[in-house]
Amino acid sequence: MRNTTKPGAGRTGLEPQNELEHLLAALIRVTNAQAGTDAGDDQRLLDAEGLIVKFVGHVSSAVVLSRGTNIPQLRIAFFDPGSVNGLVRAAVETFLVFHYVFVSPSSPEEADARYLSWWLGGLIDRQGFPLHSPAGEKLLEQEAAEAEGLRRRLEANAAFGDLSETQRRQILRGSWRAGPEGRDVSWRDMAINAGLNEDSASGLYRFLCGYAHSSWISVLQVRQARTAEDQRGLMAASLSYLAGIIAHMTRSVCHVFAKAREALVADAGAEELVEKWTYVVSTNEGLDIDWSRSGFGNDT
């Protein structure tokens, strides 16, 4: 069988079964390199770090669950592909939001518009929460005023002004990823824009959504996976996909934070591993990879 892996992708010096954990460790290491940097008066870098923390949490939990769940008190031990796949989906979407808001914009004005739109969307979402306590009602009142301030900032933004009237109206109502045709930009389009190939952006993502939404196929697969080998197999493609998403997230973090970029460049092994797995979920070539040898279960 042919080997179409990018030249240099196999020289990391790591045991294949450890690559997922090493990718996660590299992401944490480059993120920590930014520690102590003054965020200034703008909270956007703090929000970017918040997305990274969320991403690392999802990935870490998926890694732990992929090793199996054992509850001695109940005398049960099993693999839980449903939860792993749900966490991988959450990690993918966290990466896509990070890229859309902090990496994808092509100008400072567009960057401001994307960030303010995302912020406004979150505040408007919470306005619909059932917060009936005095403290909750006060918070909603404060955030309603904050939302009005964000609307004024958006209306003064040149990139926002270049959008269609429909997009501007949608964004001001809370649809932070409003597209040009009156619909939200799809997760697929966000993934393609972030550099993922069609299989990763659409096929694998739909597979993960099926588990999150309890589709009939996902239930059938879980029901039929009676052995540990079968259960691990349901996680194989998802975990390999996750490796590529961690690599993309690491590159995105390095795009936003200069010290993170310096830390990755200083670690040749980690940089090469990130390059390898970025390529895996980005190329349209038919990669010939035995996932079982890479520690992700059986080839699926």
Assign 3-class secondary structure to the chain.
Answer: CCCCCCCCCCCCCCCHHHHHHHHHHHHHHHHHCCCCCCCCCCCHHHHHHHHHHHHHHHHHHHHHHHCCEEEHHHCEEECCHHHHHHHHHHHHHHHHHHHHHHHCCCCHHHHHHHHHHHHHHHHHHHHCCCCCCHHHHHHHHHHHHHHHHHHHHHHCCHHHHCCCHHHHHHHHCCCCCECCCCCECCHHHHHHHCCCCHHHHHHHHHHHHHHHCCCHHHHHHHHHCCCHHHHHHHHHHHHHHHHHHHHHHHHHHHHHCHHHHHHHHCCHHHHHHHHHHHHHCCCCCCCCCCHHHHCCCCCC
Mean predicted lDDT score pLDDT of the chain = 88
Higher-confidence residue of 20 and 296: namely 20
Burial class from Cβ neighbours inside 10 Å (0-12, 13-18, 19+) for residue 16 reads: middle
Domain shared by 241 and 125, yes or no = no
How many domains in the chain?
Answer: 2
| Model confidence at 70: pLDDT above 80 | yes
Q: Would you say residue 9 lies in a domain?
A: no
- The pLDDT score that the predictor gives to residue 147 is 97
Tens of pLDDT along 205-236? 999 999 999 999 999 999 999 898 999 989 99
- The pLDDT score that the predictor gives to residue 285 is 59
| Model confidence at 9: pLDDT above 60 | no
- The pLDDT score that the predictor gives to residue 18 is 75
Higher-confidence residue of 135 and 8: namely 135
β-sheet bridge partners, residue 122: none
Q: Would you say residue 42 lies in a domain?
A: yes
| Model confidence at 8: pLDDT above 80 | no
Domain shared by 230 and 97, yes or no = yes
- The pLDDT score that the predictor gives to residue 59 is 97
Tens of pLDDT along 226-265? 898 999 989 998 999 999 999 999 999 999 999 999 999 9
156, 189, 222 — which closes off a domain?
189
Residue 14's pLDDT band, with cuts at 50, 70 and 90, is very low
Domain shared by 215 and 89, yes or no = yes
153-177 mean pLDDT: 96
What whole-number percentage of the chain has pLDDT above 70? 88
β-sheet bridge partners, residue 77: 70
Domain shared by 29 and 175, yes or no = no
- Rounded CA gap, 191 and 187, in Å? 6
Q: Whole-model pTM?
A: 0.88
- The pLDDT score that the predictor gives to residue 299 is 39
What domain range is 263 assigned to? 16-104+194-293
